[in-house]
Structure 1
Amino acid sequence: MTLATVEQVAARLGRVIDVQEQPRVQAFIDDVSAMVRDYCGTDFQFHRDQAVPLEPTPDLSIHLPYWARPVAGISSVRWDDGTAVDGWVYRQGSLWRSEGWRHAVQPLASVVVTASYGYPAVPGTVTAAVCAEVIRWLAVQPGVERERVGDLEVTYGATAPTQGLSPATREALRRYRRSVISRDVWRAGHAL
């Protein structure tokens, strides 16, 4: 799934993208979309009533993985043997339960959450970042290594520089990026 369209890029360029240029623009959209999904750790799609397996823990909270957020709703929480889990509350990306998250009979039983999660539509910030990156890539001519406007200086290299996400795009996507916090380092809000 691409995170922008040729028409959205054209609207931001302020011109029609001709038929000969469309395959190149679409290829850039595909490439940038893949890089954004990898960078953010999410596919920006909506998933309805999907099973999300979670490892058991003696803690009072169990965290839903980043890829299963934002959560639109949770329809069930069960142990992997199908038994319903009772007494849970969902808050800020975690399920809380006063008894902890270990099965009384099978302590290694997994928790299976059936949830709807993700994005019903690609967020506007993501689409804007993808379009801006595609336009930036279109502005770089193959083989151009460096340009200077004053006294017009162009330096050509053997190959074009590797295309990747710019610092501005990375900054724009920061709120959608997976946060990495080790559970071994952080427990119940206190550093060990």
Structure 2
Amino acid sequence: MLMTVTDIEARTGQTYEDEQLDRVNAFVGDVTALVESYLGRTYTTSTPPAAVRAVACLEVIRYLNTDPGVASDRIGDLSTAYAYGGAVVVLSRDAKDALRPFRWKSGLGSIQIISRYIPEPGSTA
């Protein structure tokens, strides 16, 4: 995992118990999966960079402070609009921007081969 419940508690100043603890653990797992998928790597055996951990923690805190999927709400005539088709657990644009430098660079490149043997002009070698 990129973070623990203790990391979230340290940042929010709250102690989570019972159902709230289950909710935080679920978000920790969801955010870890989303961040690692976005980055194209996992941190099972190594410690993630502090910036990656910080962004992941902020995303969990954002989810804790958001009604599930609500993008906007209006009181007069009671109107509610949902974001992401009602799914709350997606990485924010700000999180993606902050994580971009840590993304796995995949793709094909070229390799330049240099030979120390350069035949002289006119040689048969």
Question: Over the residues paired in the alignment, what is the CA RMSD in angstroms?
Answer: 2.6
TM-score by length of 1: 0.49
CA positional deviation for 1:171: 1.8
| Match 1:156 to one of 80, 84, 109 | 80
Q: Tell me what 2:32 maps to.
A: 33
| Match 1:176 to one of 95, 102, 107 | 102
Alignment of structure 1 residues 64-79 onto 2, 5 Å: none
Secondary structure at the aligned position of 1:142 is classed as coil
**Structure 1 ranges of 4+ moved more than 3 A:** none
Query: For the structure 1 residues 157 and 26, does the alpha-carbon distance in structure 2 shift closer, same or farther, using more than 3 Å as the test?
Result: same
TM-score by length of 2: 0.72
* Residues 1:166 and 2:92 aligned together: yes
Asked if the contact 1:9–1:135 (Cα under 8 Å) also holds between the matched residues in 2, the reply is yes
CA positional deviation for 1:142: 2.5
Runs of 5+ unmatched residues, structure 2:
113-125
Instruction: Choose between structure 1 and 2: higher helix proportion.
Output: 2
Instruction: Choose between structure 1 and 2: higher strand proportion.
Output: 1
Asked if the contact 1:145–1:161 (Cα under 8 Å) also holds between the matched residues in 2, the reply is no
The alignment-based identity, stated in percent, is 32
Secondary structure at the aligned position of 1:21 is classed as helix
